[in-house]
Structure 1
Amino acid sequence: MLHKIRSSLYWKLILIITSVISIIVTAIGTFSYYKSSQAIDSDVQRFSSQILKQANLNMERYLSDNEQFFRAMSGSADFMQWTKTALGDRFQLYNLMKSLEERTISPYIHYHPELLSVVLYQEGGNESVYRSSHAQDIVLAYHYSFSQMPWIKNIATLGSPYKHVELRLDYRDRSNQQLQLPVLTYVQKFRFSDKTTYLAMDISLMSLQAILNEIHLGDNGYSLIVDEAGRIITSPETSKVNTLVAERISQPMLGKDAGSFYLEETEQMVVFQSISRTNWKVVSFVPYDDLAVSIQNIRNWTIAMTLTALVVSAVLIFIISSSITRRLKELRRTMRMTKLGRFDIRTQVTGIDEIGELGEAYNHLLERIDTSIQELAEARVVQQRAILSALQSQINAHFLYNALESINSMANIAGHDGIMNTTVALSNMLRYTSNYRDTEVTLAEEIAHVHDYMHIITLMYQDDISFQVLIEPELLDAKCLKAVLQPFVENSIKHSYEVNGGKLAIQVRVKLVEERYISIELEDDGIGMTAERLQEIQHALKQLHTEQEFIMLTRIGLLNVHYRLITFYKDEHTGVKVDRAFNQRGTKITIIYPWEQKEGLMHDSCTDR
């Protein structure tokens, strides 16, 4: 077993890393778990008790005082007399409202400035409004009318007042600017002598929120009040008043008067308790970091122990693994020299484990690379020669070109247009194929070269062979590798017409595929090829050939063009495909390569010649 560990880097690393990590994690986890459990239990109990006590400190008295005052107004003689006042008797309405203010409202509002307004309203009849001057910079708008409140229909004639919370927009500041104010409205509906009368008072919830804000919940804690439906009564964020709390908060509080739970999403402890004589709950949100203050000490101790353990572990790992990494550093140095082009440097191989085998493999790789570089240099020469060989003629191009010019001149003098046009076409073909400077041309130039070839073919075979090119004008300026189309046209004539002498139709279609590739489809209606020959060629097209093998491909025009395309463009979708034509008789050749527009050339259309 000891020999196995010494001879295997795999087992050495497993033993070292497992031992170190096990010791550190076990020590830290055990200590942290023990101390954290004690601290969390203590802090949760302490903070829960504190929050619940502070949250209900003045809440019950606050709401109780409001309800008692409301009952005092509804039972006052002034209110009863007001309900009996004749319609439109403004003087009597004013005197009764003034008396209600002096006897009932003023003594109460002196100690409760949160009272904003008192409204007495009779359906289809009188309405009196008291606007408090004790609430600084807050006053009920003078165009306000109780009859405009949309929730009046929800009020039933009951023995207890109806409470409504809303973010009101009908209050103004001293400069008459509109305010968004959370307001608690007490309303009660009365029936006297077949008349329906409403008594309403508005209480600012800002004072209620101020009581909640006095609760110390840490730097980021806050409290709010919700009703039994989960609707927010008061909140530090005024915009949330009269909105629903998230279901993950309201659901745990259903059917419970008090309790607490933890929100994992926000890492908060939620503590709640019902307010007596209401269906409201005060809900406090305490960030876990504020709740577990005592855990900070444990965290500091944990960090200190972790750092100490890591330092000790790092020293031990460095000492123990230095012998292992020394050979890796040597191999790394050799790799860096290789990156700089030094393929003659070899790494020193020592040991019998995986690092030793890796060093031997890398040295062998360097030897193979050195050999491959020499082979590649030779292959590039072969490749260039093969490409040029596919384009040039076996006779002197300059001599033929001059000879054709002489023939053209004599035909022109003699008035032989046929000979002159044929000579021009042959001259154009010679000039096109003998220009080695341009390996890429436009599709328009490539198609023109094929038309020159077909002009000569037509002269030879008359109307037995028809030729058609279909291409969108905007594709005429697309780039194309030189001499990729004419070999296939020549193959169609050679292997179809020249074999059976029957009529032959050749059609070339050029289109754009996926806005990325040029597709050239050449299709004839000739005799085609046997299934065995078709399968043989398709198999050959799928093979990857080396440069040395390319010389053999020059005898097969189809494979020659395919190899030139994949060598030039180096795109996985580029190449030549062969299949039967749609009539299952002829042959269909498809050439695909990346689309690239050649600037500076414009063509109106493609003509068939």
Structure 2
Amino acid sequence: MFRFIKSSLQWKLILMISCIVILVVITIGGFSYYKSARAIESDAQRFSNQILKQATLNLTRYINDNEQFFQTLAVSQDFQAWTLLKPGDTYQNYTKLKDMENRVIGPYINFHQETLSIILYNENGNQMVYRNPIRDAVLNTEYSFSDSGLKEKIADTGRIQSFVQLRNDYKNSNGQFIRIPILTYVQKLYYTDQPVYLAVDISLLPTQQILDQIELGKNGQAIIANEDGKIISAPDLSMINANLEDSLVARMKSEASAYLYDKSKMQMVVYQSIPKVNWRVVVFVPYKDLAQRIIEIRNWTAAIAMLSLVIAIVLVYLVARSVTRRIKVLRRTMTTTKLGRFDIRTDVKGTDEVADLAETYNLLLDRIDSSIHQLAESKMVQQRAVLSALQSQINSHFLYNALESINAMANLAGHQPIRKSTIALSNMLRYTSNYKESVVTLEDEVKHIRDYMLIMDHLYPSELEFRFEIQAGIEQSACLKACLQPFVENCIKHGYEMTGERLRIVISAYRWENDYVRVDIEDDGAGISGEKLSEIQEALGQVQTEQDFLQLSRIGILNVHYRIKTFYPHHSLAGITIERMADEGGTRVSVIFPNKPKERTGG
């Protein structure tokens, strides 16, 4: 089986692409499931926090309004006046209570109908009770504050205290006693020699409505607990005054709000604190409510992945078979070509890459015969090139002999300038006609320039001044042959020969930018015009072909620049730069190449 797959491109493609598809589908499906599960959990946490913030805000407003009303009533003049009344004065008691109702109680209750009753009690035995006529729950007419047991719970701190109880002393509209959760605000006050008590009963049923609006999962449950973990409000009245688990209570005391997971009960717990009263709104959401969505995503992901795999493998088989069927035809043709049959052509239809490959192969076969003839002609051309090179060597040898003869005659005649010029010219000819070596040392290139300068000095005596400034340690750096002499020649051609004025040329070589050698050829001639300078700089900045360079007139500058760029393609700073030294004249040409030692050749 393995050998069969190894020898068949079709099954290789099927196996390879199927593995890739399976890997991609599993990776995408697994990642999608993982991220979806995380996103659901994150969204549940974020949404629960937002919902609890809104619920906490409503509860805070609810509590703040009640406390503010209680404080307003406690400091009102009507209440203080009532504390001075004696028991049994029914008319004055009624009058003061009516004044409080008109000025303080009535406006507040119109907007806060959760207030059930207001109890005013004096230690002298005087007691007045205001009952909210709008509510269905009405306090029993036989209610006595002193017998309620609330008086004994009040600490003498001078502050408002609150108590939550399931009370049985309220009746509904049918006169039947009902059991409802009551939040009682009470305070012990001293306006006379004897203490007085002010108590306000507030129904907690509105808080239950707020809790009912918190929807976090189908089986989620929301409650309100005090700082000690006792439940003070819950949709299920049987839970009121029950205690939360100690671990959760400890967590609530250390953190005002949190999001946690209870592993023992498999539920998510989210809570936030209510300011001032230090209560906590706590929500319990079973994990199965969250996991239900995750399980659905997992099942759908697995089903879609399996279906996609089946479809993908079928498509892979069809595509691989379509591609490899034509490749097999091309392979058979290539096999016959290996046997020496160049007359058989492959017949592959289509417009894709395989068809192009077959067409190209047929075209290759068509051109093999002509290539054989071209190869024969090429050999003829090579023979001619060899003969031409031999002839060039013969001509160079003739020139060397002629220069040696001139040197000998000048020496016999005592013409030393002619002799020295002849030797310099012979050195230059040998240097430039050596085609075996295109890279020399900087020292050799400078010596070549000195030979040229010697000839020019004899040609223009006392008109040219040359100076060399070569930094130590770079003499053996590799340098392209004949890359400096053309610029020295340009200095003389466009300087002295154009103006006839004495010319000074300075050639300085030094290390530059750590990894480069820079050679500056400077003259103090008339200088190049701004228009010409811009034209040359623009040409130097363009990336052109060899043919483009050969067609330009400034062969010296651009040809050397092209040679350097071609020889050092990975060194962006290598090349030629040209600039005007000053407004009154002078030109500087800089040749830049990497600072590398010349490799020694064996021989």
Band of TM-score, shorter chain = 0.3 to 0.5
TM-score, normalised with respect to structure 1: 0.44
| Higher CA-based Rg | 2
TM-score, normalised with respect to structure 2: 0.44
